[in-house]
Structure 1
Amino acid sequence: MSQRAFGKLLGVSATAVQLWERGDTVPDTENLAKIAVRSGYTLEELLGFLEGKPVSEPSEINQILNKIKVMPLSQVAMISRAVADRFSEEAESLGA
């Protein structure tokens, strides 16, 4: 992903992302939280990682939930519809 695209996701400039990557500046807490969510981690886990502490991989469900939190609502609606369809099919198969 380009610096421009990543910056757009976070609502910052590509220059800000470039400065972070070079270590010239550090993202503020709000942007660190956004980066953590995008990466599938909590803010605390990301801060621990930045301090050199080992970080375990987030569970698959947590990765999915974190992605949903930052998805455009149009995509969330598609997921909601798929989930509703799945429940409906399951209920029908059980004779409910």
Structure 2
Amino acid sequence: MSESVNIGRTIARERRRAGVTQEALAAHLGVSKAAVSKWELGQSFPDVSLLPRIAAYFSLTLDELFGWRDELTEAESAALYAEVYALGEKDLSAARERLRAIAAEHYSDASLLLMLASLLTVWADGMATPFAPAGERDGVPDAGGLADEALALLDRVLEVTTDPSALFLAQQQKATT
């Protein structure tokens, strides 16, 4: 089961908070108690047609039921950036793949996308190891591709944000890239 989908934990938490038994929830939804138990243990997921009913039962949005947030906290974003940055110092290809995965998972988080775009721009400029002497830096074979990825992320930021400072930073970084 996926670590990022928290439906079972959410159902268990909300069921306990409401003082509802697995049997009562199962009866309301027209499923077996065993099905509810499997959801809560992460052994299976509810049928997609049940998701709106489960969310409504606990007065949750579907995002809350899934445990999903569009935007990360500053600390969470910084931790992901640091992870990718550190990986880039060892293995630029692996770091680039991790960056792509993070960007895909948080495609509406303008702040995080700005940070990732800046990292791509740094890599495209040949500074994968910025603290090494200039003569010891490896050339980046796909600098154009890295810059294109950065520009795509910056375009996404311009699509999703209304924050004036994020808009300014995205436009400035796009011009620089």
Aligning the two structures, in what range does the TM-score lie when normalised by the shorter sequence? 0.3 to 0.5
Q: Which is higher, the Rg of structure 1 or of structure 2?
A: 2
TM-score for the superposition, normalised by structure 1 = 0.46
